[in-house]
Amino acid sequence: MITKPKGTEDILPGEIREWVKIEEFIRRVASLYNFKEIRTPIFESGELFHRNQNDSSDMVTKETYDFFDKGQRQLTLRPEGTAPVVRALIEHKLYIDNPVSKLFYINQTFRYERPQKGRQRQFHQFGIEAYGSNDPLLDVECIALACTILKGLGLKNVRVRLNTLGDETSRNNYRNALIQYFEQYEDNLCTDCKERLKKNPLRILDCKVDSKKEYFANAPKISDYLTDESKKHFEKVIEGLSALGIEYEADERLVRGLDYYTYTVFEIEYNSTALGSQNVICGGGRYNNLIKELGGPDLPAVGLAFGMERLILAVREEGIKIVGEDKLHLYLIALGNEAHTLASKLINQYRLQGISSDIDYLEGSLKSQFKKADRNKAIFTAILGEDEVKNGTINMKNNVTNMQETIQIENVQQYIVSYLNHHSHCKGCTKNTEE
């Protein structure tokens, strides 16, 4: 048997409505904040992600899916959404018509990581990216959007962690202080951190292994190296969050796993046993240099991304029901050739009117067709036999009330619609009362 590749998941029919509902909700929230959807290719030119020899992030150095196509082009499956959207912004000059462009995406993302719960090799991200303004209130808006999503889904057990990496001067000064400090302990650093000490010492702060070591407590703090301008930016973010009533925890150890961040960085954790160590459901921050680095204009930017699988695991863990039962409006049991042919014509008419319906294409016995109606959670089961075809009638059974009635075939549609309009079972179909 050929099985799915390691680190990938099938999203089965039983789960898909939950995904679709959450995606619909996310799209609605994004549009409330005036973000517009963008879709970029699943693979990009390899150099988009491998542009910088000094990149220290695991994602870029160890986790990308790189390959050559038949034309010997080096391509990479998208390991995140930010660089591709920046590439599209520059390529289509989207910043010309909209000096402040606000874009979002929901798409597959690929990282060659060690799979575990909440960590896959193919996963989905919902991301937002806002370009063209360095206003700290835009940082606040991104965090607020994330919180609106979490609140709207009913997730309570969340924690926003916030930090600033400051501007270039702040980071350079801090970087030098970190190098000086950690050089004393170089022999004690893990292999990865020895490498980080040369390339990006800030990432040492993020190390799961070394951060538990004693000397860590006295490592220099970014707050002592911030320029006045960087301090002011961060203070405004904090004021803005407080004004919106968004709770956060300042965490000077938060540096994020990607190298492009400047100024504000944040992560949102969902604390639970379900996600274990993979409890960061959302991460983001400012990246004011990336557009310029990728050959575009000197535009500031801020954004974030949610891991959709982690978000959905959290929703399930909290017992939140996003969708009701997947019910079929009508299962039409047909007995005999003539009835089967007529039934196939009728269900097509009903479907065009928004009534979900089905028949048995295996033409099983009456008993087995009833079973199939049950399995499909049909609200109505109707029987069309030889006599009914002759008389132009149909026997309707309401599976909710257990009432049975024989009615004229031409009245079926009206019969079902008027029932659905008066009851809450019409979930997701002729009338959407689900939310």
Residue 109 CA neighbour count, 13 Å, CB half: 25
Binding track over 283-312 against ligand HAM, x by CB under 6 A: xxx-x---------------xxxxx-xx--
What is the number of other CB atoms lying within 10 angstroms of the CB of residue 142?
24
Residue 20: CB minimum distance to ligand HAM, A? 19
Choose one: 155-163, 278-286, 370-378, 426-434; the region binding ligand HAM (CB under 6 A). 278-286
Q: Which of 111/427 has CB closer to ligand HAM?
A: 111
Q: Which is nearer to ligand HAM, 281 or 339 (CB)?
A: 281
- Give the nearest distance from C-beta 307 to ligand HAM in angstroms: 2
Q: How far apart are CA 328 and CA 375, in angstroms?
A: 10
Least separation, in Å, of the C-beta of 276 and ligand HAM? 13
Strands 36-37 and 101-110: parallel
CB of 333 closer than 8 Å to CB of 358: no
Is residue 104 part of the contact set for ligand HAM (CB under 6 A)?
no
Q: How many residues lie near ligand HAM (CB under 6 A)?
A: 28
Residues between 255 and 274 that touch ligand HAM (CB under 6 A): 257-258
Task: Give the residue, chosen from 140, 155, 237, 281, that forms a contact with ligand HAM under the rule CB under 6 A.
Answer: 281
Q: Which residue is nearest to ligand HAM (CB)?
A: 307
Q: Is residue 388 a contact partner of residue 334, using CB atoms and an 8 Å limit?
A: no
Contact track, ligand HAM, 361-400, x by CB under 6 A: ----------------------------------------
CA distances from 343 to 220, 309, 340, 384 (A): 76, 41, 5, 8
Smallest Cα–Cα separation from 289: which of 298, 276, 277? 298
Q: Give the span between the Cα atoms of 141 and 42, in whole angstroms.
A: 28
Site for ligand HAM, residues 28 to 87, rule: CB under 6 A? 80-82
Choose the stretch contacting ligand HAM; rule: CB under 6 A; options: 122-130, 226-234, 243-251, 372-380. Answer: 122-130
Stretch that binds ligand HAM, among 164-172, 280-288, 379-387, 392-400 (CB under 6 A): 280-288
Nearer to ligand HAM, 34 or 349 (CB): 34
Instruction: Compute the CA torsion angle 39, 291, 162, 284 (nearest 10 deg).
Output: 20
82/356 with CB nearer ligand HAM: 82
Q: Token pair of 318, please?
A: 């909290």
Contacts of 406 (CB under 8 A, 6+ apart): 388, 393, 394, 395, 396
Q: Is 153 in the site for ligand HAM (CB under 6 A)?
A: no
Closest C-alpha among 373, 277, 273 to residue 329:
373
Does the footprint of ligand HAM cover residue 127 (CB under 6 A)?
Answer: yes
Buried b (16+ CB within 10 A) or exposed e, 167-199: beebbebbeebbeeebeebeeebeebbeebbeb
Which of 15, 113, 206, 434 is the binder for ligand HAM (CB under 6 A)? 113
* CB atoms near residue 37 (< 10 Å): 11
129 binds ligand HAM (CB under 6 A): yes
Q: Would you tell me which residues interact with ligand HAM (CB under 6 A)?
A: 80-82, 111, 113, 118-120, 123, 125, 127, 129, 257-258, 280-285, 287, 303-307, 309-310
